[in-house]
Amino acid sequence: MGLFYSKLLEIFNLDWSTKWSSTPKAFPLFCLPLLPLIEILKNLDPIELFILSQCSGKSANCVHIVGTKKWKLSVNVGEKSININDIYRVAITESSMKPTWKYDRRMKIFFSRYQYSEESELELRKVLSKLQAAFRCPVTSFEYDSWSDSDQCWISVLKCITQNQVQPLESFVFAKSLMTEDLEWALQNVKVTQKIDIRICTSRFPGPNIMMFKSCKFIELKLSWLKICALNGFIEEWKAGNFPNLRYMLIGSDDFKGCWCNHMFKRDEMKQLGVRRRLVIDEKRSVECTGGCDIQADNGTKATMQMNRESRNSFELFVWNN
């Protein structure tokens, strides 16, 4: 018996200090017809469903029937956390003590504490795999923008995501001084449909190819190391209709301080005029345009180019609907 529970504690990251409340007389959940079973599962919140999924293979297989389309996961590698539906959070923390977990229902946070080991960096990936197996839903957002010690972790988590799902990410946010080949791998293999926000803090990186983000709605490349000539190429492509979903783009680069003589527009033409227009990108995002230079694509779509709104080295493009 003792050995059996020790094994359980090991599997579920519990320890003997976990409070064991008295349980009511048993209820044979899996003997119910399918509809009532689904109704009961619908009443459990995502964290309770996750805990249920850890009971056995059978229970892990039944969680997704509540509605795969309703679930989405957002991974923040720097914070070592995974959000479920942007409301519930699984927070993974390191501890020198035995692994434990606690669910704070009020805060909607599940704290998973693991004991530090050489394989600690895999902990986030392990939990993510368990969540993906239980909810059978895609990761829609990947974020890594801190200076924590997760350097080796982010790429393994990202590879795990791209291997386990066909669906592209909606959002990819990245800010780090990093190994160039890892980021190059990411830019080659990660597909993003909505928002891409990259800040690279090393000049060794040659800068991303903007054409890789053709399907994005929101592009933010602060500290991109891009050359002015790359902007010419981008504007030509946008005018030709090769960025059909784009609503807003911001590119920051030290190179923009330099000579604009070869650019199709003069820098002064794109300065702010004090005329304020708000561009609503989607229900979560909106940006303000304060002037600049209007351009029109071949299909009639209108846009405004603007310089220097936030810093001296940033170029912005606002695409207007109608």
Partner 1 sequence: MSVENAPVVDVDEAAIPVEKKMYYRFESNDKKEFRVSELAIQQSETLNRLVEAMGYTSEDVENKPAIAIENIDGKTLKLVFQWCEHHKGEAIPVDDGSVPKIVEIPEFDAKLMDIDNGLLFKLIWAADYLNIVQLLNVSCKKVANMAQGKTPAQLRRVYLLPSDEEDEAAKRAAQEAQDPRAREVEEEFEERKRQGGNSFF
Interacting residues with partner 1 (CB under 8 A) = 5, 8, 12, 14, 18, 20-21, 23-33, 35-36, 39-46, 48, 51-52, 54-59, 66-67, 70, 85, 103, 105
- Complex with partner 1: residue 45 or 151, whichever CB lies closer: 45
**Rounded CA separation 295/99 (Å):** 58
**Rounded CA separation 286/318 (Å):** 11
**Rounded CA separation 199/186 (Å):** 14
- Complex with partner 1: residue 51 or 133, whichever CB lies closer: 51
From the CA atom positions of the chain, what is the Rg in Å? 24
Torsional sign, CA 177, 179, 180, 184: negative
- Complex with partner 1: residue 69 or 278, whichever CB lies closer: 69
CB of 32 to partner 1, least distance (A): 6
CB of 24 to partner 1, least distance (A): 6
Residue located via tokens 């679930």: 71
- Complex with partner 1: residue 15 or 182, whichever CB lies closer: 15
**Rounded CA separation 122/110 (Å):** 18
Q: Which of 303, 276, 305 lies closest to 293, judged by CA?
A: 305
CB of 109 to partner 1, least distance (A): 14
CB of 58 to partner 1, least distance (A): 6
CB of 14 to partner 1, least distance (A): 6
- Complex with partner 1: residue 121 or 123, whichever CB lies closer: 123
Residue located via tokens 């839903």: 137
| CB of 174 closer than 8 Å to CB of 120 | no
In degrees rounded to 5, what are phi and psi of residue 161?
-65, -50
**Rounded CA separation 103/177 (Å):** 34
CB of 66 to partner 1, least distance (A): 8
- Complex with partner 1: residue 40 or 297, whichever CB lies closer: 40
- Complex with partner 1: residue 35 or 259, whichever CB lies closer: 35
**Rounded CA separation 277/321 (Å):** 13
CB of 83 to partner 1, least distance (A): 14
Beta strand pairing status for 109-115 and 88-95?
parallel
CA distances for 63 relative to 1, 38, 39, 56, 232, angstroms: 28, 9, 12, 11, 50
Quick check: helix, strand or coil at residue 210? helix
CB of 82 to partner 1, least distance (A): 16
- Complex with partner 1: residue 24 or 300, whichever CB lies closer: 24
Rounded (5°) CA angle 306-290-198: 50
Beta bridge partners of 277: 289
